[in-house]
Structure 1
Amino acid sequence: QPGTFRHKPASPPGKAVDLTHAAEKLQQSPQWTFSGRSGLFVPEKYFIGADGLPATLKTSQVHPPVPNEWLEEYGLPIADADVLDQDPDRDGFTNLDEWQGHTNPTDQNSHPDYVTKLTVASASMEPFHFMFSSRTEDTFGINTIDYTQPTQFLTVGDTIGGTRFKIIKFTPKSELNQYGTSLDVSELLLEHEDTKEQLTLVKEKVATSPQSVVTFTYSWPAGKSPQQFQVRKDQEFSLKPNEEIKYKLIDVQPAKAVIVNTQKPNEPIEIGFGAP
């Protein structure tokens, strides 16, 4: 009838399931979203960063410290949160290892040196009890490091009293200090009469005893539990899978161990302590 006002039907209440779904979405971590070059106003890939703000591959580094360009160069899945831990060529090295080693993560024959996966877990340093303290022509003065015993005057071929170590070689050496003064750093090479272990005494310096032991951690291949093994000073060891290469522990110091590839004895390799 004229003048009659009709009420508009009320909108139905929101479904509880829709509200629940929306709440779940808000609780989820931001997801990286990529777009191709299909639109005029979307010229490059973009994603939503961890801070919830839009970003592009040109303005944000997705997986620090590895550059986005490096990941894209090798076709690695930059959208995967664990891409740096992946090993696409199955050579036992992660993508992060390969980037650090300047190698190709998609080529099984291109990878870092296996020794890069070696760290020191612990070390027991023991000083050798005797020191090469003086020299007069072919006679060498040997003292205990605490100078509590009389000096032994020995020549090549003699055994140091109180040990099983014999002097087998003398090598004269010198070096300049920071003031340009020549210092005598001559060496005596000792050999254990039973085990044939060798030890070098540098004039007026305390040597590390062959009894010193280092526990190494070897974390190759990626994805497997790290292996630990002990090595005594001057002992040789090898690393899988290249067990034909022999390494030798030549020194143990408070912050590192020093090894050499026995095929390259003049190129020491310093191995630091791993993360606790």
Structure 2
Amino acid sequence: MKNYHVIVLVLVIVFGGILLFLSFKDSETLNAEITVKKKAEFGQATADSIKNSIDHISREVNWATPTLEGVPEKPLPLTRSIPIWVKNNEEIDLLDPSSPQIRPPLDNGWAFKYGASVGRDDLLTLDEDNDGFTTLEEFEGGQTNPSDADSHPPYASKMTLSEIKEDTYSLIFRTGDNPDGEFGVREEATRYEADPARVPPRRKSHFLKMNTEFGTHPGHEDRYSIKSFEKKTKPGGAGGIPTPAHILTIADKKGEEFQLEYKSPKIWPTFYAVIDFQLPGNESTIGPLKVGESFELDLEPGVKYEVVNLEGTLENGVKLRKTGPDGASTSDISISAGKKNG
């Protein structure tokens, strides 16, 4: 049997040797050609050429982006577009704070951010998300999202003070000039009540000795007592006769004292605020409420508004303190007088 495998192995070795020899010869020729070409194309490197090359590589490159025609000194980004609005043949960049407002007083950037329809003439009065607040109210009330019903200004911005009602209480020192006798003191009260709107003045006279407690008006029961009496007169009576100007010193339950001058009433007014809530679809009348009383809105469960200041005039308004799950607001809310919706 012939040794074919030996013959094949010998042929492979011979053929491989020939290929190796040829490749070695070709590489020498190629290297020689490259060396010749390098010398021919670039010549001999010099110190100046090396320095020039280093300076060229190290130079600062200032990239200048193209500018947008019609918008001076406004670089045109290569990675995003610039929103442009054309009004009266003027190109307005919506993201440039210095650009004129398309729908004053709305900020162009705010309108673009929330996709407000700046092309609509009725944009300011529009309520696109049906939350009861117009686009203008959303912008002026905290720049909330006019397309999201859950994003809106505080509900207090929809409250106006429509009326001030008054409950007066007074004490009048009417009779008495003997510290060992009795003093006539009269209570007078005009009360505000929801039904009827007013009740006739309420009066009650008391004949009191020193240190006797008295008071019948609601909220004032047994609140006062006489502590001292000072007999005085003042000029100005008929025929030059002095008139009584006696002084009663009265103390309340807290021990605080005040003086009643003869026939000169001391009046304590109590004011009540009537507030209109003007959110479309949820209109209501709140009150009357006096200082210290509070109310809630159905739209804000768990949130209370307490009356903390009420000076008795529509011009001065009323101040509310909002208290929610996180506690009281850091600043009081001022509610001013205004017209009802519609």
Structure 1-normalised TM-score?
A: 0.50
- Alpha carbons of 1:265 and 1:67: their partners in 2 closer, same or farther (altered >3 Å)? closer
For residue 271 of structure 1, the aligned residue among 326, 329, 335 is 335
Correspondence for 1:245 among 281, 298, 303: 303
1:78 pairs with 110, 118, 121, which one? Answer: 118
User: Contact (CA 8 Å) 2:273, 2:287: kept in 1 or not?
Assistant: yes
Preserved contact between residue 98 and residue 104 of structure 1 (Cα < 8 Å): yes
Decide whether the 8 Å contact of 1:215 with 1:230 is kept in 2: yes
Q: For residues 55 and 42 of structure 1, do their structure 2 counterparts lie closer, same or farther at Cα, with a shift above 3 Å needed?
A: closer
Residue 165 (structure 1) aligns with: 219
* Map of 1:25 onto structure 2: none
Q: Which has the higher contact order (CA 8 A, sep 6+)?
A: 1
Q: Does 2:278 correspond to 1:219?
A: yes
| 1:46 aligned onto 2:86 | yes
CA 1:214 to 1:166, structure 2 compared with 1: closer, same or farther past 3 Å?
closer
* Structure 2 Cα separation of the partners of residues 245 and 202 of structure 1: 38
**Displacement, 1:271?**
0.8
CA distance in 1, matches of 2:296, 2:140: 23
Deviation string 1:132-185 (CA, Å, 9 cap, x unpaired) is: xxxxxxxxxxx989xxx99x9999xx975242335899xxxxxxxxxxxxxxxx
Residue 74 and residue 161 in structure 1: after superposition, are their counterparts in 2 closer, same or farther (change >3 A)?
A: same
* Structure 1 SS opposite 2:275: strand
Unaligned runs of 5+ in 1: 1-39, 49-53, 131-142, 170-187, 191-200
Q: Deviations over 1:196-225 (max 9, x none)?
A: xxxxx999997541xx3322221214xx48
The AA in structure 2 aligned to 1:248 is: E
Amino acid of the structure 1 residue aligned with 2:155: Y
Q: Which has the higher helix share?
A: 2
Match of residue 289, structure 2, among 232, 256, 267? 232
Write the letter of the residue equivalent to 1:111: H
Assess, with a 3 A threshold, how the Cα gap between structure 1 residues 144 and 260 changes in structure 2: closer, same or farther. Answer: farther
Contact 1:231 1:249 in 2 (8 A): no
Aligned equivalents of 2:70 and 2:278: distance in 1? 43
Residue number in structure 2 paired with 1:14 = none
Distance between the aligned counterparts of 1:241 and 1:225, measured in 2?
9
Matched position secondary structure for 1:46:
strand
Pair 1:95–1:164, CA change in 2 (3 A): same
C-alpha RMSD of the superposition: 4.4
- Which protein has the larger Cα radius of gyration, Structure 1 or Structure 2? 2
How far did residue 65 of structure 1 move? 1.8
Query: Does the 8 A contact of 2:216 with 2:222 survive in 1?
Result: no
| 8 Å Cα contact 2:275-2:285 kept in structure 1 | yes
Distance in 2, matches of 1:154 and 1:96, equals 65
1:125 aligns to what SS in structure 2?
A: strand
Change (3 A) 1:275 1:167: same
- C-alpha distance in structure 2 between counterparts of 1:219 and 1:202, whole Å: 44
Match of 2:304, as an amino acid? K
Residue of structure 2 in register with 1:129 after alignment: 170
* Residue among 104, 120, 124 paired with 1:64: 104
Q: 1:79 to 1:153 in 2, by over 3 A?
A: farther
How many residues get paired? 184
Distance 2:278 2:132 in 1: 9
Report whether the alignment pairs 1:261 with 2:322. Answer: yes
Query: 2 CA distance for matches of 1:266 and 1:159?
Result: 41
In the alignment, the residues of structure 1 paired with residue 257 and residue 114 of structure 2 have an alpha-carbon distance, to the nearest angstrom, of: 50
Cα displacement (A) at 1:250: 3.8
In 1, Cα distance between equivalents of 2:253 and 2:126: 48
Using the TM superposition, give the Cα deviation of residue 98 of structure 1 relative to its aligned residue in structure 2, in angstroms.
Answer: 1.8
Q: What is the alpha-carbon distance in structure 1 between the residues aligned to residue 210 and residue 120 of structure 2?
A: 67
How far is the alpha carbon of 1:77 from its aligned partner? 0.4
Q: SS state of the match for residue 261, structure 1? A: strand
Alignment partner for residue 100 of structure 1, among 128, 137, 140?
140
Identity %: 23
Contact 1:57 1:68 in 2 (8 A): no
User: Shift of residue 94 of structure 1?
Assistant: 2.1
State the AA in 1 paired with 2:148: D
